[in-house]
Every structure is written in C-alpha cells, then in structure tokens.
Structure 1
C-alpha cells in the first residue's frame, strides 16, 4: 500500500527531468516544409518606415540570410554580435524579419546594439513568419539568388553552426 503512494511522485519527478532535458537540448537543423521552394509571397513594411514596403522580390538577386528576431528575444540578443561579425567577414547580406514586436522597441534595440541587417521586414502580426512555419525566435533561413529557401536553422546562429551548416551551402550557391 505504501509503495503505490510513491508512484505518482516518481512519475512527476521523471516528467520534470524530461522537461528540463528537452528545454536545455541544443537546437538542431530543422527541415523546412518550404525547403527548395520560394519564400512565400508577401508585402510588409520596413521597420524603418521611410524605406517603404519590402516584398518577396527583394529577396532575389543575391545569396542572403533571412534572420527572424525580436527585441524581446534574449537568445536573439546573444546571437546579434555574431550576425554583425558575419556581415563584416563575409560578402553576405542578412535581411531581418522582426517578429511580433513593437516598432519602437525594435528600433531602440538596433540603435543600441548595431544593425547587421541590410533591410528589416516589420512583421508585427507574424503573418510572414506563419507562412514560413516559424516556431520561434531566432530562426535563420538561407535564401538563394532566385529567392528559394535552401536551408533553415532554428536557434541562435554560432560560428560552429555557420561553419558546419551554412558556409558550405553558401559557397556552393555562390558558384
């Protein structure tokens, strides 16, 4: 009788341990349902209002990254310095997709920490992010010169992730 009283406690403990392990696991490459397909059609405003709207056509012409971020995202803040380093070291443009954020907060974040983005798409309702299948922030997509999604990574971009997953594809796409 006494042993059965501890079963719920043991099960709850195991569930808690599994939850902690799952939350702390490293991000892994995620195959996008849009892999090898064009970025979905969109027309959204630029975060910097004076730049007008940004469309799907603006993601064509060069190999570039599309980085989903928000000012409220602590992981995005940790990846921000590396994005600036990438722009400085690589001949690669990064387009920002500001996800479900307040315009003023996002502009303040870029003013304080620097702006690695060639353009920033303002997506306050998350409509483009939803069409892309975004799970959360940050996420990074590799877009080829024809506007086709070639790779997706969920989580903060790091030098290791860049070298293992993105650099070889970028080199191949730029040939």
Structure 2
C-alpha cells in the first residue's frame, strides 16, 4: 500500500526535475556537433562558373565567415545587410553557400540586393549543407585559419548577435592567429 503512494511521487519529482532543466536552457541556441571540429570536406562549383571550384582547403589560412543562404529564404534577406557590414567591419571574407537553389534565382537575388560574398559555392542538391549540419537557412559559421569551425549562428543574424558575439569572435580569431 505504501508503494502505491511512493511511485507516483517519485515520477512527479522526476518530471519536475526534467521540466526545470528544460526551462533553464536557451531555445535559440542549438548545439552543433561541428564546433571545434574541422569544417566538412566539400568541392563545389561557384555560382559564377561551373569551371571554377571552391573547396574546403580554400578556407584555410584565413579566418572566414561561411553564410548558408538561398534566394527563396525570407530570413536571408533580413540578415543580408548585416553580412555586408560584418565583412566591411572585420575585413573577414564571407564565403556564401547557396543552398538548394537555382543559379538563376541566386544570381537575380544577388543582383537585386548586392553581393557581399568573396565567392559563392553552389550547393544545388543540398548535400554539402547537410554535411555542415544545416537544418534550415540561413546559418552562419565562423571558420578559423586552420579550417576549424569555432562558432555557429542558427537563423538570421541580428544586430545584437553581430555586435555582441560574431564581430568580437572574428576579431579575436584574427588577432590570435587562429
């Protein structure tokens, strides 16, 4: 008879602990298994030409911002001016990864809104995006000089994110030689 009372109490206490843990986590921060790991290997044509290629090795030797975007992405339009500003303020090149898009749509979009990218890799199938752990566009990765992913932004970059985290991270990596 006593167990009939103890078991429900234990179950309720366990649920309270799990709920408390869940409520203390930030829902806007999604952990990435790629943080502090080498950037996934890729070899893609550029948006400008099928004959020109961009590879993972091209990310090494300099701090780089990799921005995953698409012409059909409304949130990508919202962050576009900030991507341009980040590159201008930090001097860090931005590599675009055009994800599951058409060349025509992407080129038209860049013509309309401007092109902040040093180069744009064209990932029509989305396979490279999947290797990078992209759940939805936009997503942005900070890659250090060794080709290691150091930071990731899921969703559109906000001005606060840019000023409080992204620009300081890029500047710190540039200064440290990492």
Q: Specify the TM-score bucket, using the shorter chain as the normaliser.
A: 0.7 to 0.9
Q: Hey, what does 1:93 align to over in structure 2?
A: 93
* Greater shift in the superposed pair: 44-53 or 143-152: 44-53
Change (3 A) 1:27 1:51: farther
* Greater shift in the superposed pair: 88-97 or 107-116: 88-97
SS at match of 1:133: coil
Q: Would the aligned equivalents of 2:76 and 2:138 in 1 still touch at CA under 8 Å?
A: yes
Answering whether residue 71 of structure 2 is matched by residue 71 of structure 1, we say yes
Give CA-to-partner distance per residue, 1:119-165, whole Å, 9 cap, x none: 10100001110001101000000000111000111011122101222
Q: TM-score, normalised by structure 2?
A: 0.79
SS at match of 1:105: helix
Asked which structure has the greater CA Rg, the reply is 2
Change (3 A) 1:74 1:131: same
Q: Hey, what does 2:127 align to over in structure 1?
A: 127
Question: Which whole-Å CA distance do the structure 1 matches of 2:51 and 2:159 have between them?
Answer: 31
The total of aligned residue pairs comes to: 150
Q: TM-score, normalised by structure 1?
A: 0.81
SS at match of 1:151: strand
Answering whether residue 111 of structure 2 is matched by residue 137 of structure 1, we say no
The gaps in structure 1 that reach 5 residues or longer are 1-25
Q: What's the C-alpha RMSD, in Å, of the aligned pairs?
A: 1.6
Question: Which whole-Å CA distance do the structure 2 matches of 1:73 and 1:169 have between them?
Answer: 26
